[in-house]
Copies of this chain bind each other. A is one copy, B any other.
Amino acid sequence: MNLLLLHPDDFINRDQVQIRGRRLRHINSVLKAKTGDFLKAGLLDGKIGRAEVLSLNREVADLRIELTEPPPPPLALKLILALPRPKMLRRILQASTSLGIKQIHLIGSWRVEKSYWQSPFLEPDKIHEQLILGLEQAIDTQLPEVHLHPYFKPFVEDRLDAIAGDTTRLVAHPVAAHSLPATPLTGLTLAIGPEGGFIPYEIEKLAELGFAAASLGPRILTVEVAVSSLISRLASNLESSSQNTHTCDP
């Protein structure tokens, strides 16, 4: 928890909050904060700044809040991800959020076990919990959206084109002949398959919508490592273009 992430209902007046529960325990036992200390704080979907500890005990902390800075810019990358195994899902949601992703679509695919859709980790409050942990880790406040689409075909045929819009469309496919683009991108929709990959039919359906298949290289990664790797690898192209600071020796 690198950021004390505040909710509107933490506020007892315009610039003061009361914190209990998990966040208080973290303030006490990990940050070991004392009266007069300043903590980094931010308002969910709002600005970032600092919180001064006014008083603190095991029950409740009172803090004065001053929020002045915008959160880091979102990554212009929409993630389409075949639903991973539940135990991996939590870490992947946290990692993707910490990397700046703001829109995640979890989808069905031939190699996604049907039973995964019954996982309690897919309940909205469980997903929310992982997103919050990702924001607290990354010092960000903008909550990602997560959408569930259990059926591949209607998702791709009826929804995906509108989601991808005018972004570059890419599907990570370990056996693809092409490698990832090295040129600046202004926006990207990235599809990542399940363990074992999308099946040829799925790659074809994605290709019909303009999703180019590209490989990260000769090695096969777990979905968890692949997600972080692909986002980071492609974020540098997105950052380069959006910040217009791309340097390159021809």
Contact = CB atoms under 8 A, between A and B. Distances in A.
Given A72-B217, A218-B139, A220-B137, A247 B182 contact: yes
A89 to B, nearest CB: 15
B182 A221 contact: no
Contact of A239 (B99, B217, B228, B231): B217
A94 B225 CA distance: 10
Contacts of A247: 182-183
A49 interface: no
A150 interface: no
Contacts of A236: 180, 182, 233, 236
Interface string A180-200: 101110000000000000000
Contacts of A221: 95, 98-99, 137-138
A138 B230 contact: no
Contact of A222 (B98, B219, B249): B98
Contacts of A138: 219-221
Given A100-B219, A184-B249, A232 B228 contact: yes
A232 B224 CA distance: 13
Contact of A98 (B140, B219, B233, B249): B219
Given A182-B236, A233-B233, A219 B72 contact: yes
Given A99-B225, A138-B219, A180-B236, 7 more contacts: A137-B220, A138-B220, A139-B219, A139-B220, A183-B248, A184-B249, A250-B250
